[in-house]
Structure 1
Amino acid sequence: MERRTFLGAGAGATAALALAAPVAASSAPAVPAGAPRRRDTEALLRRWFRDTYRSLDAMYTDFGLTTDKIDVSGDAPVQSPNTSPTNIGCGLWATVAAARLGVVDGDAMRRRLRRTVAAVERLERAHGFWLNWYDAHTGEVLTEWPETGDPVRPFLSSVDNAWLVTGLRIAADADPALRPRVRALLADADWSFYYTPFDADDPVQHPGQLKGGYWTDDDTYTGHWYGALNTEPRMASYLGIADGTVPGEHYWHVFRTLLPGMGQEQEPAGEWAEVDGFRVWRGHYTYRGKKIVPSWGGSMFEALMVPLFVPEGEWSPRSWGVNHRRHVWSQIEHGLREEEYGYWGFSPANVPAGGYSEYGVDAVGMQTEGYTSKGVVTPHASFLAMPFARGHAVSNLLRIERDFGAYHDGLGFRDSVDVRDGTVSGAMLALDQGMIAAALAQVLRPGTLQRPFRRGGFARRVRPLLRREDFGIA
């Protein structure tokens, strides 16, 4: 790991506060003074995208899959041996974005997509879904963790499969020749496999929610369901609702907050309402005077990864649209004013000194022992904020690059920085680079990765649900 020269905490906080104008509660934050002009910003964003895509290209194996991460602490990037469905999905959508932004040509895109789909076709599956860990260089299911030799249980993760399916749908949209192959791959991916139907007489064991996953070695499901709405597993919910394998009522059975009296970060305000014949608790929290529907842990990617693909804010402007901006505001408020780090952007990432951990703003997560910021910022969180607060995000990233040397020329931002002592991660993670690529694509060419999720079952089944959403926070 590397330690960089950086501004002291007091100086960094003062500089940041001077740059940052007050943030509006229900609209995009005001652009900070001193932020680059729009034309200059676009050139900068294109450079950031080009380098980020190069990092993902450095993760691509001869077998055709994207590895979990690369180590960039040495003279040349070193690939990890493992990959997951999410990593593979990231590689697919980043390649499509690269073609649509002119970084690679159409022929190169099609070759890469077809090679990856061919690799995915060779991977072992169960119940129509992909296992959680493979050898990225051979496609074999991992049974031992490469670094430690610890056993790896074969697991079908609902949320990780959602991100691979997202990437496959984007690939099929970009290359019509792949559509029959992707259709065949997804024919058995029935999301009802993870779904427990709602039973009003026993809502604890039959909550109308998706299970976290399934262990194939002993044929058992996880003990938990994904019960928080404003988290990244809602992508699996949307996919299941869109293709008709999960009923639309599932959307109303997932919690905006936990119910009053249940153990959670704060006692929620709100009201009961009846929607589509179901009682829904329209709960919200209040953070530093602003109403917000929390995520589970308070991290950026829980709230803002899904709208890179599904136009939630457009279909639900006074609920999802407002809430997305409130989450950006809460992260800026926490980093610059509450903790006075001088920087912001908190989301699960590589630990700067090694390992992996969750980071977030505890007060906007339901979990009583939620994610805390710990002084660690991750650039992907700022990129996720960029569609909603471009000026603030660019300014924050430029300061992270300048003050910590956290940008690897030619490969993009390193995964995380501890702003308290200047430690910079020596790794780049496929998930985080994939989110950066998708966010930049959304800013530079809005909607370019959303095309498969604006039509078909998404338009017929998901959009009407979001239009009826009312968080009661506007």
Structure 2
Amino acid sequence: MRRLLAPLLALTLTLTGGSVAAAAPAAERSRSGPAADRALLGYARDTWRSMVAMTDPHTGLVADSITGDLAAGGRSGYTSPTNIGGYLWAAVAAQRLGIISRPEARARIAQTLDTLARLKHHTPSGMYYNWYDPRDGSVLTVWPDDGNTVYPFLSSVDNGWLAAGLRVVEGAVPELRGQADAILRTMNFGFYYNPAASTAYGVKGLLAGGFWDAAPSGCSQQRDGVWFTCNHYDITVTEPRMATYLGIAAGQIPPEAYYHTMRTLPPTCDYSWQEMRPVGFDTTYQGVPVFEGAYRYRGIQFVPSWGGDMFEALMPDLFVPEARWAPNSWGRNHPATVAAQIEHGMNDAGYGYWGFSPASDPAGGYRAWGVDAMGMDTDGYPSDAEGSKYDAGFDGCRPAGPAPTYGDGVVTPHAAFLALPYAKGPVVDDLARLKANFDSYGPGGFYDAVAVRSGTVAKRYLSLDQAMIMGALGNELGNDVIRRAFVSPQFEHRIRPIIARETFNVPANQFLPQLGRGDL
């Protein structure tokens, strides 16, 4: 493992972004003051412009992406449940921030709900297909970009984000509550739950990745009249936990299923293919054995995601106040995740910028970006265009590999926005420098990805990434509007006690005094 190059004090100063008044000049303190909020609001206005440009005016369905000039002809010919849900919560955020009026928000959301209610879907489960044509709402069976066959699929993750958007509408737009609920109450996340699926620890009961309602070409498992994926989600720090939260809150999934997923893989040589040997302890919650494993990267201890990206770790936190409800688990892990991302970009890789998450590839297409050292997959998501690999080895089982030489780092602005609750000063600074130093900002806000050494920019907008930005800014500038709308009394009653009782193997106050704002 590479040695910790920067002393802890230097890292602390980087993370505070001048938030400790006694130690920072006024210019540094302004990063978290009115000037910072004005800059963030400007980003929100431009980001919303891209959402409007991506939305078909006849259906109210937002396209998956659009070219950087926001021309209607640059819209993609496909959309997904995630994109549709993202448009719903983005409209709520835009209204709360004063970017659009309440009547406009209501009209836009109502149009989308009207179309959504008419879309073909899997009636027994209430779940929606992964790809629709945004122009008419038809299910795609041929991919518009290349003509390849599409086998209509229904994803647990994507339907989770659609349901999140519907819940936000229920909580924020009373006039449309009944319309949103009519769709939401038919969605049964228990349909994805497989009580026989087990983890490496032998714990049973996991969510499937999704299903097809007709036999697909690849691996599948027939059950309940459909063909489920052979894979199941077995990692805790990943975005499928949103679907688990929703299923538990609705009484469709047993509450103890929250503990079924793994914090890390086992610390044995049988699993030495994972990024590093985890450190941890064994415990039990609600009768479920749990190994509270964690990774250490450059002096920072955290529970890893699969690929080491911000999306997996922090997107559910846009809706569920995880850090406040679970101070000993998510309240420790979210700041540590942000700290490690900053440490990677600023010090270890030396890019001078940070924020890594799946997004567009500046060289073309789409790619999963992350911090390889922060993901369980030893071939995890790279932070640079060259795909540099970090290999800490696995003590006693696998020797460490050579130290990586990082190349053209690819920073994804939406990842920095997700960190706003935990490092507002560094976020504002990072975004300001990205905007000033690269051709990274267009009519719809920040372009999707920036290769910071070559200066190559992916000049397009992805609706999911833009929706994450809108959600983060809605919470930051709009008094937690997305979280407040999403969380109902029943949801809090069923979810908060479950996540509150756990303690991750992440040191208390490791970074919270430096990163926290006192309102978590």
Are 1:214 and 2:248 an aligned pair?
no
CA distance in 2, matches of 1:151, 1:316: 44
Are 1:171 and 2:181 an aligned pair?
no
Tell me the TM-score normalized by structure 1: 0.91
Secondary structure at the aligned position of 1:283 is classed as: strand
| CA distance 1:253–1:75, change in 2 (3 Å) | closer
Aligned position for 2:374: 364
Number of equivalences: 453
Runs of 5+ unmatched residues, structure 2: 1-5, 216-225, 385-408, 509-520
Which residues of 2 match residues 81-100 of structure 1 at below 5 A? 81-100=77-96
Aligned position for 2:512: none
CA distance in 1, matches of 2:48, 2:168: 17
Structure 1 counterpart of 2:12, which letter?
A: V
CA distance in 1, matches of 2:485, 2:71: 40
Structure 1 counterpart of 2:91, which letter?
A: T
Structure 2 counterpart of 1:438, which letter?
A: G
- 1:184-229 per-residue CA deviation (whole Å, 9 max, x = no partner) reads 21232111111111588x9789731111110222131111111111
Secondary structure at the aligned position of 1:317 is classed as: coil
Which residues of 2 match residues 74-113 of structure 1 at below 5 A? 78-113=74-109
CA distance in 2, matches of 1:394, 1:76: 31
- 1:7-39 per-residue CA deviation (whole Å, 9 max, x = no partner) reads xxxxxxxxxx9xx962379x9665487544511
Are 1:66 and 2:56 an aligned pair?
no
Secondary structure at the aligned position of 1:23 is classed as: helix
Aligned with 1:190 (options 171, 184, 188)? 188
Q: Is the 8 A contact 2:328 2:500 kept in 1?
A: no
Deviation at 1:175, TM superposition (A): 2.0
Tell me the TM-score normalized by structure 2: 0.83
| CA distance 1:143–1:173, change in 2 (3 Å) | same
Aligned position for 1:467: 500
**What is the CA RMSD across the aligned residues, in angstroms?**
2.1
Aligned position for 2:360: 350
Aligned with 2:340 (options 330, 336, 349)? 330
- 1:134-178 per-residue CA deviation (whole Å, 9 max, x = no partner) reads 001100001111110011110000000000111111112222232
Deviation at 1:420, TM superposition (A): 2.0
Q: Is the 8 A contact 2:302 2:505 kept in 1?
A: no
Q: Is the 8 A contact 1:70 1:429 kept in 2?
A: yes
Deviation at 1:77, TM superposition (A): 6.9
Structure 2 counterpart of 1:157, which letter?
A: S
Aligned position for 1:317: 327
Deviation at 1:453, TM superposition (A): 3.8
Secondary structure at the aligned position of 1:179 is classed as: helix
- 1:18-74 per-residue CA deviation (whole Å, 9 max, x = no partner) reads xx962379x966548754451111111111101111110111102111110111158
Structure 2 counterpart of 1:151, which letter?
A: T
Deviation at 1:80, TM superposition (A): 1.1
Deviation at 1:248, TM superposition (A): 0.6
Aligned position for 1:149: 147
Structure 2 counterpart of 1:294, which letter?
A: P
CA distance in 2, matches of 1:191, 1:211: 10
Aligned position for 2:401: none
Structure 2 counterpart of 1:191, which letter?
A: F
Aligned with 1:244 (options 248, 251, 269)? 251
Aligned position for 1:455: 488
State percent identity of aligned pairs.
Answer: 47
Q: Is the 8 A contact 1:124 1:130 kept in 2?
A: yes
Aligned position for 2:12: 23
Q: Is the 8 A contact 2:50 2:70 kept in 1?
A: no
Secondary structure at the aligned position of 2:467 is classed as: helix
Are 1:254 and 2:261 an aligned pair?
yes
Aligned with 2:446 (options 413, 418, 426)? 413
CA distance in 1, matches of 2:64, 2:12: 35
| CA distance 1:466–1:57, change in 2 (3 Å) | same
Bigger shift: residues 70-79 or 270-279: 70-79
Q: Is the 8 A contact 1:319 1:470 kept in 2?
A: yes
Secondary structure at the aligned position of 1:135 is classed as: coil
Aligned with 2:129 (options 128, 131, 146)? 131
Aligned position for 2:463: 430
CA distance in 1, matches of 2:292, 2:193: 22
- 1:97-150 per-residue CA deviation (whole Å, 9 max, x = no partner) reads 111111111111110110000010111101310000000110000111111001
| CA distance 1:454–1:28, change in 2 (3 Å) | farther
| CA distance 1:400–1:264, change in 2 (3 Å) | same
Q: Is the 8 A contact 1:345 1:381 kept in 2?
A: yes
Secondary structure at the aligned position of 1:210 is classed as: strand
Secondary structure at the aligned position of 1:271 is classed as: strand
